[in-house]
Chain A
């Protein structure tokens, strides 16, 4: 079996459901989350030159999910175009499941996309402000503003969040696609 096939198989079997969970927090609904993941996997494996490590492949897919989520127009168009290539989904449209979502997801859904992304990157991915800024292509000040506004809104909805700033001493400016050579 050629390398990318093996990595793809491992990723689909072992990592895809977690990726859907990650995308679900960003997107706030299941069909969009699944579309984001399907599309990100196809994009990653279609483009990457070296895919011999499932951890790296997963990191690429995560980054693509985020990019596509923030670039929703493109993501939605791509997902529609590729839907026929993928699994038949029996999931109903998002609103049909609205009552099943956790309160925290419903609160997230009320946030603008970048605020939502900041919350997920900081509190799920545990990125620093600098790393979050690099991922989003915005300044650290903008990240702080997004987070401040997002947390304030979520506190109104969810009450005390026990929020504490994650450490901010790690710095990553960019997202490696391939190791340094």
Chain B
């Protein structure tokens, strides 16, 4: 549907596009390639490091080990202090139960971890509890939603670096892929997507798990901005507040 305003805006857009095209007729792709190439190489190196870490996680899960959180963890005290401050100052989009949490994937479907170790790994990664060597510690912010009903659990973590944070997202991708294969035996379907939120800088991964007797999807959404991540785990039946929660968190961060 168009209207007069739309017509005026599209007209201005067209005029500006033509003006720019007239002034930039040469081959400028190489200029971008010079800027992009080194960044992609740097990213590939970081991903390779993250991949090695993820393989280690899946291997641990296959033998039923729990990921370590203790002395081996790389601390990131400045980020954690910042996260604690934000956890105090942010304005969640619904009621916050500071001591609340959402049910995990394994708990929701009653899956034995040794049947689907990748799902157990995904469960931990969704709470930002995995890969302690990437820095930081998970800070449980609470649960958002109406008490007594299904809720979304919120966790934040400051990684040692932005590259470590991205490696963590890669690990979630891999765990979700493994869980999709292993979870099929338990009657669940797993879908992972890379998602962004328009007004929020950074990247995220959202995993939807459906099937079985659960009424609705179990959702894990981990969003990373720089070295800081916030994760929302929503139980089946919970109001879909993941995007507003993430936006609210990082809005508080920006303020």
Q: Interface of A with B (CB < 8 Å)?
A: 4-5, 8-9, 12-13, 16-18, 20-22, 24-25, 30, 33-34, 38, 41-42, 45-47, 49, 63, 66-67, 70-71, 74, 82, 85-87, 90-91, 101-105, 108, 119-120, 123-124, 126, 134-139, 151, 154, 158, 160-164, 166-167, 173-181
Contacts and interface: CB of A to CB of B under 8 A. Distances in A.
A8 B8 contact: no
30 contacts: A16-B20, A17-B20, A17-B24, A20-B16, A33-B16, A42-B39, A45-B36, A46-B39, A47-B43, A63-B196, A85-B35, A86-B32, A104-B8, A108-B9, A119-B5, A119-B9, A135-B198, A136-B199, A137-B244, A137-B251, A154-B5, A161-B8, A164-B3, A166-B1, A167-B1, A173-B240, A174-B206, A175-B195, A179-B193, A181-B192
Given A8-B32, A42-B39, A104 B243 contact: no
A137 B5 CA distance: 24
A114 to B, nearest CB: 8
A33 B24 CA distance: 14
Q: Interface residues of B: mostly helix, strand, loop or mixed? A: helix
A135 B200 CA distance: 9
A34 B20 contact: yes
A68 to B, nearest CB: 8
A38 B35 CA distance: 10
Interface residues of B, number: 56
B228 to A, nearest CB: 14
Contacts of A18: 13, 17
